[in-house]
Structure 1
Amino acid sequence: MKQQQIQHVFEHLHNHAEVSWKEIETTNYLVELFEASGFSPQRFKNCPGFYVEIGSGHPVVGLRADMDALWQEVDGEMKANHSCGHDAHMTIVTGVMHELKDRVLPHTGTVRAIFQPAEELGNGSLSVVAEGVADDLDYLYGVHLRPHDEISFPQCAPGIQHGACVFAKGWIKGHDAHGARPHQGVNAIEVLFAIQQHINTIHVDPHIAATIKFTNIQAGTDNLNIIPGNATFGLDIRAQTNEAMAKIQHDTQKIIATMRQLYACDIEFTFLDDVPAAEVDADASALLATSIQHVLQQEALPVIVTPGADDFHFYTIERPQIKATMLALGADVAPGLHHPNMTFNPQAIENGIAILTDVVCRTLAYK
């Protein structure tokens, strides 16, 4: 694709953002674009998105592009907004497939581009895995724009060591009591404070970054003489390794069980949107590092460590044979990812296309 065509694709995707599980028009636009170029894209049966491939045989090399946008306020207006760079990711993978169209010969291997819904909810990749398109993958490459305070344009790294992330939701269920008769009920706010105090005692290896914190609390009314017996709360839990995350979840469940007994109250508790930490494959990242150096004529940075999370890593959890890594694409993202007015250096798109095109060819020859 020519640079002008790539820019047009990006502008269309940027201006027609859609939120998780509603990427219908995004799918339609890209499917029609690929069909017009002579590809045969295949829509997913049970969710938005599609895949498109060229070549045949092994190795099967996958490219993943996330499609969804965030719902946030932008200059006073609530709207779908690509403040995480998924519009760029889709453009890059589209460009790579067009670059490779006449370069991947039959029986030298298969290249499969996967356009995935709902990354922002942390579970879109699981729906794609259920479609069967990851079953025979040998390698999988992803891409993500990086903020300027992490790496600067045009620097790139051959992997992103995302942390694990899980949300939790809890409900304290009881009965209100009169402010003058606290002995007749359980104060849900006191239970919340107790939970907060105890989660602060959860410790993992201090060399491993990990946090657990309240992000939502709702209790009480405007009537200040009523002791609330009911409350809801939410937690955001993050850890740099899956082992540390497992310990935090286990300890949190023990605390909730203890609070039930201590306060003799009903507490429902569940984990939501569990996203695993990255397992960066050494072979895939080495190939990607070579491609970064070849394209940019400068050494690749080491694999970067970030507390953010990405459901890209479910592919290797669900299909352990896949050798996967994600291109950390220096793009001078500012003020930061998920900021409603996020901007980035558009030349990063060209770098992303060139690097991923190179690594796919390199991987097909590597076998």
Structure 2
Amino acid sequence: MSNVLEHYHYLHEIPELGFEEIKTSAYIADQLEKAGLKVTRGINNTTGIVAEIDSGVPGPVLALRADMDALGHIIDGVPCARHTCGHDGHSSVVLTAAQELLKEGAVKRGRLKILFQPAEELGAGALAMVEGGAIDDVDMIFGFHVRPLEECVVGQAVPAVLYSACSTLEATIKGQPAHAARPHLGVNALDAAVQAVQAVNTIHLSPGLNWSVKATRFLCDAGVTNSVPDEARVVWDLRSQENGPMVLLKEKVTQAIINSVAALGAQADVVVLKEMPAAEIHDEATAIIRDAIVDVLGEDGLLDTKTTPGSEDFFYYPVKRPGVKAGFWGLGTNLVPGLHHPDMHFDLNSLEIGVKIFKSCVGKVLG
């Protein structure tokens, strides 16, 4: 057996939020250096790491990417970080694969780069790695994600997961304060925010498109119960299976918010908190992953491509560097009750399968 479970158990116990993965990145970098890999820490002044295996023989440059950050939750009224998206599993798999590939001398041509990126949940980690030059010389990049039980079980894997574009918009709505006994002297920001939510709910794009928009946070408090509140903040989550419709959806949502609150005499400032692009996956990369899955799990373990309304900042790599061929696959893990659920858990035996699939991918490109 490999070291994947040892790595997982350690990383699982030290969850850290995006760009705060101090202990996580230190552990990973230390393990890579002990194995003999060349390691560069602090990519773009972040916790990002790039490790490298150079064969010394001309050939392509392949990258494997893992994300390191945990999610922020409020559990029993207490803010905390918790690994509820499986990034501890992702890092463990890619770390183990890198150690074994070097030990086995599996990189026989070209170079293998190992990327451990921060802040995937913030939608900013991949951008930071790109801006730090992590993939300037990369020809192909592979990433993966553990999948929920309803999509994929242990012993199965998906060769391509088509993620959606996601944008998070926040509106700060300004009204006019007043005593609750004299509401005609004020502009109720709470009323305006409610109207904005209803206005966004009336938006329609073509029924042929795969999209959604919904309010996910509503904050408004005058501090007392007998005053008209003068400020409210509302957050909306926008999803689109394609990048083009997302541009139109953001425009429609922004105008719906601004116009609806203006009808009540309020004003709205709308900003984008974060966004991630829809999947851009290369056929050649997917074919390599498909063959690797069959090598490890047989034809019965190979599933069809999956489409998901979830989002992944991995796709900034091919979007920002169009020449890079990207592949992104899904690993069956019997994950329940769901990603981002505070009690998310999965079959840890699946991680060994992930290591083997990644090693097979590397062998096909650099072997």
Instruction: Give the shorter-chain TM-score range.
Output: over 0.9
What is the CA distance between 1:296 and its match in structure 2? 0.4
Alignment of 1:98-247 (within 5 A): 98-101=99-102, 102-105=104-107, 108-221=109-222, 223-247=224-248
> Matches of 2:124 and 2:228 in 1, distance apart?
38
Q: For residues 1-367 of structure 1, what are the structure 2 equivalents within 5 Å?
A: 2-3=1-2, 5-43=3-41, 44-55=43-54, 56=56, 57-73=58-74, 78-101=79-102, 102-105=104-107, 108-221=109-222, 223-259=224-260, 261-299=262-300, 300-364=302-366
**Distance apart, 1:184 and its partner CA:** 2.4
Kindly indicate whether the alpha-carbon contact (under 8 Å) linking 1:209 and 1:239 is maintained by their aligned counterparts in 2: yes
Contact 1:160 1:328 (C-alpha < 8 Å) held by counterparts: yes
CA–CA distance in structure 2, aligned partners of residues 13 and 224 of structure 1: 46
Q: SS of the residue aligned with 2:270?
A: strand
Aligned-partner Cα distance in 1 for 2:231–2:155: 52
CA distance in 2, matches of 1:196, 1:214: 7
Cα drift, residue 75 of structure 1? 7.7
Give the whole-Å Cα distance in 2 for the aligned partners of 1:205 and 1:113: 41
CA contact (8 A) 1:74 1:341 kept: no
| 1:158 Cα deviation from its structure 2 partner | 0.8
Return the offset for 1:260.
5.5
8 A Cα contact 2:165 2:243, kept in partner: yes
Unaligned runs of 5+ in 2: none
How many residue pairs match? The answer is: 362
Structure 1 unaligned spans of 5+: none
The whole-number CA distance in structure 2 between the counterparts of 1:77 and 1:195 is 30
Deviation larger for 97-106 or 160-169: 97-106
User: How far apart in 1 are the matches of 2:122 and 2:365?
Assistant: 31
Identity of aligned residues (%): 35
Q: Distance in 2 between matches of 1:42 and 1:251?
A: 43
* Structure 2 counterpart of 1:226, one-letter code: S
CA distance in 2, matches of 1:185, 1:77: 36
Contact in 2 for aligned 1:100/1:357 (Cα 8 Å): yes
Instruction: Work out the CA distance in 2 between the residues paired with 1:74 and 1:218.
Output: 19
Write out per-residue CA displacement over residues 237-290 of structure 1, whole angstroms, 9 at most, x where no aligned residue.
112221221111011122234235433432111111111111121111111111
| Alpha-carbon displacement from aligned partner over 1:325-352 (angstroms, at most 9, x marks no partner) | 2120000011111222222111211111
Q: How big is the shift at 1:314?
A: 0.7
Shift of 1:58: 3.4
What TM-score, normalized by structure 2, do the two folds share? 0.92
Which segment is superposed worse, 262-271 or 154-163? 262-271
Q: CA 1:222/1:48 → structure 2, altered by over 3 Å: closer, same or farther?
A: closer
Write out per-residue CA displacement over residues 132-180 of structure 1, whole angstroms, 9 at most, x where no aligned residue. 0111211110011001011111111111111111111111123212334
Distance 2:190 2:73 in 1: 30
Please identify, of 141-150 and 76-85, the stretch whose mean Cα deviation from structure 2 is larger.
76-85
Q: Distance in 2 between matches of 1:18 and 1:68?
A: 6
Q: Residues 256 and 342 (structure 1 numbering): CA distance in 2 closer, same or farther, change over 3 Å?
A: closer
CA distance in 2, matches of 1:66, 1:180: 53
The 8 Å contact of residues 288 and 364 in structure 2, kept in 1 or not, is answered as yes
Residue 302 to residue 228, structure 1, CA distance change in 2 (3 Å) = same
Question: What is the deviation of 1:315?
Answer: 0.7
